[in-house]
Amino acid sequence: MLKLEDYYKNFVNNENIATNFSVPAEHSFVTDDFGNDCAVLDSPYINNCGYDSAGALLQHIYGALLPPVTVVDSNLSYFDQSEFAAQGLDTAAMLESGAVYIPSYCRQHTGCRVHIALHGCLQDTDYVQEDFVRHTGYLGWAEANNIVILMPQAKRNLSNPKGCWDWWGYTSSAYASKLGYQNTAIHNMLLRLRQSTAIQ
């Protein structure tokens, strides 16, 4: 993580980088109420360490937020990702369905924001069902603060046996640019959200 911090400093203003090295977590998404014990390395790679990393990162990005509230189950839905991946789902290494949470306010009012939450390796819905979608803490914060949460889903293939998002070029040499197949698909999802909901 120290090396990752150094890497980000090459591209991002230092004040835009937040770190917390005090949580003794294994390789996982850290929560304050769900998952394995903090030091466990195992599926679903969500660890209960008494630390709300979803809340911490959302407030780092968006500023002070209202505390999370009860999630409205009917505001979570799944959608067909195939129409957004121009090269096809197999080429883009994406599952058939992605998830989106649209808070109650955002279904009827303008001015909502959108946050893209990308799962880690071995965390897509084929591997862990709804654990990442429902139990990482995003949805309660989203409902309280009118933030649409988009959770697209990658999938495994021979070049990507753990279902990771493409951070090393297994889909194409353009993987890290806005021409990358997955990046393009996610951008298309954002355009659709702007058309169909009241996000900014």
CB atoms within 10 A of CB 165: 24
- Backbone dihedral region for residue 132 (phi beyond 0: left; psi -120 to 50: alpha; all else: beta): alpha
Rg (CA), the chain: 17
Q: What is the pTM of this model?
A: 0.95
Contact 181, 85 (CB under 8 A): yes
Rounded to the nearest 5°, which phi and psi values hold at 138? -65, -40
Domain limits for position 54: 2-196
Q: What is the pLDDT of residue 195?
A: 82
Question: At 177, which amino acid appears?
Answer: S
pLDDT average, residue stretch 156-185:
97
Q: What is the pLDDT of residue 111?
A: 86
Q: What is the pLDDT of residue 197?
A: 63
Share of the chain above pLDDT 90, in %: 94
pLDDT at 200 over 80: no
CB atoms within 10 A of CB 156: 17
Beta strands in the chain (DSSP E): 29-31, 36-37, 46-48, 76-80, 97-101, 113-116, 147-151
Q: What is the pLDDT of residues 1-14, one digit of tens each?
A: 899 999 999 999 99
Rounded to the nearest 5°, which phi and psi values hold at 131? -60, -50
> CA separation (Å) from 108 to 77, 104, 112?
17, 7, 10
pLDDT at 110 over 90: no
Q: What is the pLDDT of residues 54-92, one digit of tens each?
A: 999 999 999 999 999 999 999 999 999 999 999 999 999
Instruction: Please tell me the distance from the alpha carbon of residue 115 to that of residue 106, in angstroms, as a whole number.
Output: 13
The domain total for the chain is 1
Contact 147, 62 (CB under 8 A): yes
Instruction: Please tell me the distance from the alpha carbon of residue 159 to that of residue 16, in angstroms, as a whole number.
Output: 33
Q: What is the pLDDT of residue 198?
A: 54
Contact 147, 103 (CB under 8 A): yes
Q: What is the pLDDT of residue 194?
A: 87
pLDDT average, residue stretch 138-166:
98
Query: How much is the mean pLDDT over the chain?
Result: 96
Confidence of residue 174 (pLDDT cuts 50, 70, 90): very high
pLDDT at 183 over 60: yes
pLDDT at 50 over 60: yes
